[in-house]
Structure 1
Amino acid sequence: MVEGASGGKSQPLREQVHETLRQRIFEGYYVPGTRLVERALAEEFTVSRLPVREALRMLRQDGLVVEKDGRGVVVAGLSEKEVRDLFDLRAALEVLACRLAAERGSREDFAELGELLEAASSQLAAGRYRTAQKINNDFHDKVTEIADNDLLRSALEPLIGRLHWLFRHAEDLEELIDEHRRLLAAIATGDPDVAARQSAEHIAKYRAQFPDLHAEVTGGNQ
């Protein structure tokens, strides 16, 4: 049976397989260039080859895998242009999310953000790096939820996985938690301009790290 899928038996098998493979790609289980073999995946997930074939087709539509002559389906890297485009969109959409979160968030919302950061710090101290990493991703997702703008959420939704994938390559996690604490402090002021400015600085700092990380993120797929 498919592991890691959140939809359970109510989800079609192709979607369960798709979700699991996406999660593995975003968490670095499959690095760029990894070959995904239909038959092997069907055996691993104990399903027929049809849902695996459909899941791989969905991953191609996501831009997460590509067909390589002589190799079949492999995990794609991010081109320099794709990374640049992601940062451009992040600078627009995430800054807006922080601005709206400052305007619309409650004390309870801000407390929940703080709890996420404390949990991330605790997990990191315990050596659970991937769990801490996921919680930090959850922090950004929670900010978007607090912003309470359905169109903004819809615009960000297809980008979230790729952004999480990109974050994993580039930031020192302890430093990232501290960055998020500063971002939370700005949002909790309730001043949208303060929140937007801190968000923009956070993104710009991360973007400046990109040149040294590009080879790792692309996986040599340019």
Structure 2
Amino acid sequence: MAQPLPEPQRGRPLREEIRDTLRTRVFEGHYAVGTRLVERDLAAEFNVSRLPIREALRMLQQEGVLAERATRGSVVAGLSEREVEDLFDVRASLEVLACRRATERATPEDIATLESILDRASDALARGSINEAHRANSEFHDEVTRIADNGFLKAALEPLQGRMHWLFRHVTDLSELIQEHRELLAAIASGDPERGAEQSVHHIDKYKDQYPHTI
């Protein structure tokens, strides 16, 4: 069953709520690669005008989650072998920097937030809620970027986050992934930026070969 549109958050544009819901549907397999998303149908489903639907679809195209096809409109995009390799190259550069800066700048409150996210991932996995565990693991990486507190880094990562989160969901051993994240958290909490960067490199390299060559 597809995820419904969440209750609007105060002051948050409707297009962003719709974008997040559609993105989650893609990540959780409700829309397969090649599925066409039709403005008219989505507007009727969400009971909104076509304008926020159009804006949400455009945002997802910019993230690479959707592709524009001349004869079909917006369709769920896949990733070629070359695109997966290129994405890992960019991820390695940007996420290592994010972990280095997060290690330098994390407060005790930030560390507690990261611990809470991983506890939620563990609890979700124990309950058999795989999608919830995946969401928490993706949130962990987003929180590291926030803690890094580098506006240019955040702007560089934002267009890639959708595709990276999609890759995260192809990890099959979530228990091992959560443990890897706990080791990364320990490195960040150490306050040693070299340790944070090295652990990030290890984390990325360990999982690079586990992802499919194409999606």
Sort the TM-score into its range (normalised by shorter chain).
0.7 to 0.9
Partner of residue 201, structure 1: 202
Find the counterpart in structure 1 of residue 134 from structure 2: 133
- Range 138-147 or range 65-74, more displaced: 65-74
CA distance in 2, matches of 1:6, 1:80: 37
Aligned counterparts, 1:112-127, within 5 A:
112-127=113-128
* Residues 74-102 of structure 1, C-alpha deviations (whole Å, 9 max, x = no match): 21101222211211111111111111111
1:4 is matched with 6
What's the Cα RMSD here? 2.3
Distance 1:179 1:147 in 2: 19
Name the CA distance, whole Å, in 1 between partners of 2:198 and 2:59: 37
The correspondence of residues 202-221 of structure 1 with structure 2, limited to 5 A, is 202-210=203-211, 213-215=212-214, 217=215
Which deviates further from its counterpart, 90-99 or 15-24?
15-24
Please show how residues 58-77 of structure 1 align to structure 2 within 5 Å: 58-68=59-69, 71-77=72-78
In structure 2, distance between residues paired with 1:161 and 1:113: 20
Which one is further off, 101-110 or 14-23? 14-23
How much identity, in percent, do the aligned residues show?
Answer: 59
Q: Is the 8 A contact 2:34 2:76 kept in 1?
A: yes
Cα distance in 2 for partners of 1:144, 1:156 equals 8
Give 3-state SS (helix, strand or coil) of 1:77's partner. Answer: coil
TM-score for the superposition, normalised by structure 1: 0.83
Count, aligned residues:
212
Q: Are the structure 2 counterparts of residues 57 and 135 from structure 1 closer, same or farther at C-alpha, using a change threshold of 3 Å?
A: closer
**Is residue 99–residue 196 contact of structure 1 (8 Å, CA) maintained in 2?**
yes
CA gap of 1:99–1:61, structure 2 versus 1, over 3 A, is closer
5+ residue gaps, structure 2, are none
- Tell me the TM-score normalized by structure 2: 0.86
Post-superposition offset of 1:68: 4.7
